[in-house]
A and B are shown apart, each in its own frame.
Chain A
Amino acid sequence: MSEILEKYKWIGPIIEKMDRDLKRIFMKNFRMRDKNFFPEGDYKADIKNLVNCMLCPNMCRFDCGTLQTSLTETMSPAYKARIGYYLTIGLIDPMKKENQDFINLMYKCTNEENCKIWCPFEFSVVSLLETVREDLNDKNLMPDYCKQQIDKLNNTNTIEEYNIYRTYTEKGIENIETDGNDEVFYYIGCESMKFPEVIKANIEILKKAGIKFSTNLDSKICCGGPAFNIREMETANKFAMKNKELIEATGAKTIISDCPGCILTLSNRYEKLGVKIEKQIIHIVQFFKKLIDDGKLSFKNKIPEEFRKITIHDPCLIARNLKDTESIRFILNRIPDLEIFEPLYNKDYVHCCGWSGTNHWADRDLAIREARNRINELKDTGVNIFISACPLCELGLAYGIDENEKEKYKIMDISELIIRIL
C-alpha cells in the first residue's frame, strides 16, 4: 500500500478536489481493493502480482521464450497470469476435466526469467505460476508428467528412472570419497552425469590446481530442484534435509557444482524453506576464475586449431540468477589464440536453451523448438562450437541441432575446452 501511495502521490491533490460522493466511493474502492478481487479461503497463489501481471499490456512478451517459440497468444505471459488468477478464484474450475489445458498452461514456462528484465513490477512470471502450482498440488491436481518426476525423485533419488549416480564406474568417472576434511566438495548434478567427459574434465582440472576435494557419488542424490519447480514441497524439503546432511559431512567450506540449477536450489531455494547450508556455494566456473586469480590454474598449451573459434551460450541461471556473466568470459579470455564470438542475445539478455523449468515435461515439442531457435541464434555467429557451462543447456541445445548437422556443430562445456590446454 505504501509503495502505491508513493508512486501515485500525484493523485493526492486530485482526490482533494473531488466532490464528496466521488471521494467517498474512490476511497472505499481503495480500501476494499484487495477484498474486491481476492478470493476467500486458503490459497498460496500470489494474487496481488497475478493481477498486476494479467492487467499489464504484456511488456515482456517480445522476450518470452515460450511465446516467441509457440507464436500463439495463449502462451503470452499476461495470459498465463490471467489463467492463474481465474483458476485460483474458480472462474475456471480446475476440478473439471475439460479445463486440463488451463492447468497445463501453468507449467509451460522455462524459468528463464527474461521477463523479469522488462517487468514494470520486477518479478518473473514463473515466480507467480509456481504459487498457482502449489494450490493445484493441494487440490491433488498435479499433472501426471509432474507426478512422474516426483516419483522418480522418491524412488531413485535422482531425476532419472534409475539412480544415475551409480553409473559412474561404467562411465569411467572417478569417485572420490570424503575423509571429512575436504577443502571443496564437487557437487555433481544429476543431469551432469549424462556428460561424463565434462565431469572427468572438471575432476582433472581440480586435481591439476591441487584442490583437495571429494565427489561422494555413492551417496550422492539430486538437489531436489525438480520438486521445487513443481512445488511439491514435501519432497523438496526431504531433499533439502538430506543434502544438508551429506554436504556437511564432507567438512568442505566451499561447495562447487557444474549445474547452475543445483546452485540455485542449494542456496536460495533451500534458504526459503528454512534450510541454510553455511557454506560458500558457487558454480564451478566461478571457482575456476578464482583459481586463475590465485595463480593455481593456468593454461600452458596452445588451443588446437579446430577449437580456436567458439560462441558463448550463457546459461540463464548463471547470467540472471547468479548475475554472473563475467566468469565464463574471464576464463575464455585467458585462453591464448581463442577467438570468442557473441550471439545477438547474450549475457543478461540470453535466450533459453529450452530445457529449464517444467516446460520440457509439459510440452516437449515446444521445448525442442525453443532449443532450435536458440541454436539458430548461435549459428548466426558463423561459428560451429558453442560453449556453455550448464548440463541442462548442453542437453537442451543438443535437441536443437538437426540430425544431419550433428557432425557439423559441437556443443561443449567450458571444462572440455580448458582440459585441452592445461
Chain B
Amino acid sequence: MVYISIAKNYKIFLIILLLYKKILMFMDLKEFELIYKQNRCEIKDKKNIETRLKGIVGKNNISTKKIDLLAYSKDTSLIGFNWTLQGKIAGLPDFITWPETEEQISEILKLANREKIPVIPYGEGSGVVGGAIPVYGGIIIDMKKFNNILEINDKNLTVTAQTGINGMNLERYLNARGYTTGHIPQSLYISSLGGWIAHRAAGQFSTKYGKIEDIILGMEVILPQGKIVKFKTISRASTGPQFDKLFIGCEGTLGIITKATLKIWPYPETRALISYAFPTFEDSLEATRQILRQQIYPAVIRIYDADETFRHFDHIEKAKNKVMVVFVCEGIKSLVNLEKAITMDTCEKNNGVACGEEPVEHWFETRFRVTETSLSPTLKTVFDTIEIEILWDKAADLYHSVITTTKKIKGLIFITAHVSHFYPNGVGFYFSFAGIAPKEKTDLEFYQEVWNTVIKAVEDCGGSFGHHHGVGINRSKWMPVEWGVSFDTIKQIKNLLDPNNILNPGKIYENLWKNGDEK
C-alpha cells in the first residue's frame, strides 16, 4: 500500500513538474512567482509576431524586454502590493506596444485576431480590480502616447482629448484656462481619461458634476476586430439605442477608446466648506437624503462611520464618538450661499452639530496622501476597499449587514465604511477592510473570502456589487447574480463584437476566482 501511495504521489509530482516546466518554457522572469498562470496563451512563433508588431508600430514602440514585461505585470489592486513585496507578479504579458495612431491599434487587433493572442489595453494602471492584468499573457497596448488635448470649446463647454492622458495633467491644463471637468476621483494623479471611461468612474465631486457617463458627450472607439468607430459629440439625442454608452464601463473588453469629448465647467468662483457631527449613522444618512430631496447638490458629501470618524477626525473635539459628515458646495457665490444655508439648516434639524471648516480642510489636505498601501503589506496584512451601491430605503440595513457578516471572518482585523457618493435615490458606500490570512489560507484566498462575503451581503440586500471601480477579476464571479438572465445577453454582445475573445480576456465574463479558490 505504501509503495502504491508513493508511486501515485510520484506520478502526481511528475505531472505537476511537467506542467510547471511547460509554464516556465513560455515565461521570462522566472525569479518571480506568477499568480495567474493557468491557460496562458501559447504563442508558437514569438519572434515572428514581434517582427509583425514592429511592422505595425515601429521598432521603438514595441518591447519584449524583461524590464518592460515586469513593469506591466500588475495594476493597483491592493493585494498586488502584497505580491510586489513578496516577489510575486499577478500576470505576465508577452509584448508591450505603444501605438501612436488609431490605425496602428486597429492593425494590432487584426493581427491578434488572426493569431488568437489576447490584447490588454493599459492606461495608467490605476485600476483596483485587476482590469489591466494580463492574466493569459498577450499584447499590452499602452495608451500613454495618446496624450494630447485636442480642443477646448468654450461656447459648447467641452474639451476633446485623447484617452491616454493622465487625469491630473488634463485637470491642470483646464484649471490654468479657467475650467474644470469636475471629475476628481481619488485616483486623479494616477489614472487616465481612458481608464475613467473604461471602468465607469465617479469622482469625489460627482454629486454636483455627475459621474463619467454624465460627463462624456462623444467618443472614438476601436472595436475588437479593428474597426474604428467615431461617435458624434452630442448633448443628447433620440437616435435609437445609445450604442456608444455600451463602451462606458466595458473595461477594455468591447473596444479601445482612443478619444473622448467631455463636459467642462467654468472653474468655481467660490467654495463653502461645511461639516457636521451626528450622533448616529442613521441621522447622518437622513440629513443627507433630505438635502438631496430638496434638489441641493453639494459637490462633495462624505459620511464617515464612527470608526472612520475616529480614524480621520480624532482631533475634532465635537466629533468624538460621533459620525462626521463633510460637505463642499461650489460654484457662483449666490447659489453656493443658498446651498450652504439649506445644507446647514437640514443638518441641524437632524441632530447635527456644526464642526466648521477645519474637518473639510483636513480632508482636502489628506485626500491624496495615500500611505496605507505602503504600510499594510509590510505587516503581512491584506488591505482593500470595496465600493457598492444601494437605494436609500435599504442603505442603513446594508451597512449593518456588511459590517456584521464580514466581522465574522477569521483573520479580519477591521471593516469600516464611509458613504462617498450620493443621489436623490441612493448612495455609494465605500468599505475598507484589513486582515491577516489564517494559516490554512493564502492571502488571495482570504482576500477572496472577504470580497465574496461583502458582495453577497450587498446582493442579498438588493444593492449593486460595484459603484465605480468596475468588475475586473475581483467581481466577475458575481456577474450572473447582479445581472440575472440578462448576463447571457451581455455575453452574446461580447461574443458578437469579439468572437475570438482576444480583448482583455479573463475579466467580467469569466470567473478566475472559482469557488473562492486561488486559481
- Please report A residues at the B interface, Cβ cutoff 8 Å: 4, 7-11, 13-14, 18, 22, 25-26, 29-30, 33, 36-37, 51-63, 68, 71-74, 76, 79, 82-83, 86, 91-93, 98-99, 101-102, 105, 118, 120-121, 344
Instruction: State the CA gap A68–B173 with chains docked (Å).
Output: 15
Does B4 have its Cβ within 8 Å of any Cβ on chain A? no
Of listed A7, A26, A56, A73, residue having the most chain B CB within 10 A: A73
Q: Which of B137-182 contact A (CB under 8 A)?
A: 142, 144-145, 147, 164, 166-169, 172-173, 176
Instruction: State the CA gap A79–B70 with chains docked (Å).
Output: 9
Indicate which residue in A14, A105, A344 contacts B173 across the interface (CB closer than 8 Å): A344
Instruction: Report the minimum CB–CB distance from B277 to chain A (whole Å).
Output: 17
Does B378 have its Cβ within 8 Å of any Cβ on chain A? yes
Q: Which residues of B contact A118 (CB under 8 A)?
A: 189, 368
Q: Which 6 A-B pairs have the closest CB atoms?
A: A71-B144, A10-B311, A55-B374, A74-B71, A101-B67, A62-B168
Q: Which residues of B contact A57 (CB under 8 A)?
A: 76, 126, 187, 190, 370, 373
Instruction: State the CA gap A52–B405 with chains docked (Å).
Output: 32
Extra contacts, 10 of them, besides A10-B314, A68-B166 (Cβ < 8 A), are: A10-B310, A13-B310, A26-B436, A29-B379, A51-B85, A56-B374, A57-B373, A61-B124, A71-B98, A121-B374
Q: How many A-B Cβ pairs are below 8 Å?
A: 135
Indicate which residue in A18, A58, A98 contacts B190 across the interface (CB closer than 8 Å): A58
Q: Which residues of A contact B176 (CB under 8 A)?
A: 344
Size of chain B's interface in residues, with CB distance under 8 A? 54
Instruction: State the CA gap A153–B125 with chains docked (Å).
Output: 42
Q: Which residues of B contact A92 (CB under 8 A)?
A: 31
Q: Which residues of B contact A53 (CB under 8 A)?
A: 374
Q: Which residues of A contact B311 (CB under 8 A)?
A: 10
Inter-subunit contact B374/A62 (CB<8 Å): no
Q: Which residues of A contact B307 (CB under 8 A)?
A: 10, 14
Instruction: Report the minimum CB–CB distance from A65 to chain B (whole Å).
Output: 13
Inter-subunit contact A71/B147 (CB<8 Å): yes
Does B279 have its Cβ within 8 Å of any Cβ on chain A? no
Residue of A nearest to B80 (CB): A55
Q: Which residues of B contact A58 (CB under 8 A)?
A: 76, 124-126, 189-190
Contact A14/B71 with A37-B378, A56-B374, A71-B145 known, Cβ cut-off 8 Å: no
Q: Which of B184-204 contact A (CB under 8 A)?
A: 187, 189-190
Inter-subunit contact A59/B411 (CB<8 Å): no
Q: Which of B465-492 contact A (CB under 8 A)?
A: none
Q: Which residues of B contact A13 (CB under 8 A)?
A: 310
Inter-subunit contact A72/B71 (CB<8 Å): yes
Indicate which residue in A7, A14, A55, A344 contacts B84 across the interface (CB closer than 8 Å): A55
Inter-subunit contact A72/B98 (CB<8 Å): yes
Residue of B nearest to A23 (CB): B413
Q: Can you list 10 A-B contacts with CB-CB less than 8 angstroms, sorted by A residue number?
A: A14-B413, A18-B413, A26-B413, A58-B124, A58-B189, A62-B168, A72-B71, A73-B122, A93-B31, A344-B173
Inter-subunit contact B87/A86 (CB<8 Å): yes
Instruction: State the CA gap A30–B381 with chains docked (Å).
Output: 10
Inter-subunit contact B379/A30 (CB<8 Å): yes
Inter-subunit contact A62/B189 (CB<8 Å): yes
Inter-subunit contact B379/A26 (CB<8 Å): yes
Instruction: Report the minimum CB–CB distance from B141 to chain A (whole Å).
Output: 12
Residue of A nearest to B310 (CB): A10
Instruction: State the CA gap A101–B71 with chains docked (Å).
Output: 12
Q: Which residues of A contact B19 (CB under 8 A)?
A: none
Q: Which residues of A contact B126 (CB under 8 A)?
A: 57-58
Inter-subunit contact B169/A62 (CB<8 Å): yes
Instruction: Report the minimum CB–CB distance from A352 to chain B (whole Å).
Output: 15
Instruction: Report the minimum CB–CB distance from A122 to chain B (whole Å).
Output: 10
Inter-subunit contact B190/A62 (CB<8 Å): yes
Instruction: State the CA gap A242–B31 with chains docked (Å).
Output: 46
